[in-house]
Amino acid sequence: MTTFAEAFARQAASDLEAFEYLSRSNLPACHRLHYLQMWLEKLCKAYIWLTDDMEDLRWTHNVVAKVLPLMIREHWRRIGFSQPPNLSEIREICREIDLLHPQVDDGGRRPDNVEYPWKDGRGNVFFPAAPPRPFSVLQRLEKSPTGRKLRKAAIVLTRERPIHVKGLH
């Protein structure tokens, strides 16, 4: 019987495929970032140890900054990464990934997201396919050394070397 942990891991792998497919397209960046956020959120949920009193964690959206840095740290420990990783920057990028979801907005300070239109403090309305400025997390993931390491580690954890407890919940 498939457990929730396995189901989240397998759906994360499918979301990763969608992310890569969209990355090769000319569609606006919001679409691939939407799948990036969904991929990493589900990957994180495959690792959360849920007890009966913690079921809500399965459906919350604000988990990437809390969970993914520790997954990457453990992955790097296991492969014997020679250089200490910059976990502070990893955490910053992960927070930006959480903020891509419309329900995560830092108390209204970050209404920009990759799914729904939003209004800024001056009343101007924007939508994800044509944001007022490019989503900065994309630049960090593709151009910064730490961002590239994060993406590589997340791909390995999704496809090649999962380290979650398979029988988990």
Partner 1 sequence: MLTHSKAVHMPNKEDVAKVLANAHRVTDPEITRIVRLVGENEQDPNEPIKLLEVNAATPPSGVVPIAFAPDPPDIPYPSIVIEVTPDEYAQIVDGKLMLPKGWTIEEVLYSSE
Residues that bind partner 1 (CB under 8 A): 47-49, 51-54, 57, 62-63, 65-67, 69-71, 73-74, 76-78, 84-85, 87-88, 91, 95, 163-166, 168
Report the amino acid identity of residue 36: L
Q: Which residue, 129 or 163, has its beta carbon nearer to partner 1?
A: 163
110: tokens are 């970050």
Q: Give CA–CA dist 22/26, Å, rounded.
A: 8
Structure tokens at 53: 């009193």
Give the residue with the Cβ less far from partner 1, 77 or 119: 77
Which DSSP category does 169 fall into? -
Minimum distance from residue 65 beta carbon to partner 1 (Å)? 5
Q: What is the nearest approach in angstroms of partner 1 to the Cβ of residue 124?
A: 29
Question: Would you say 58 and 81 are in contact if contact means Cβ atoms under 8 Å apart?
Answer: no
Give the DSSP letter of residue 39: H
Q: Is 126 helix (H, G, I), strand (E, B) or coil?
A: strand
Cβ 137 to partner 1, closest distance in Å?
A: 16
Nearer to partner 1, 26 or 88 (CB): 88
Cβ 91 to partner 1 shortest distance, Å: 6
- Judged by beta carbon, residue 32 or residue 140, the one nearer partner 1 is 140
Chain centroid to Cα 51, Å, comes to: 23
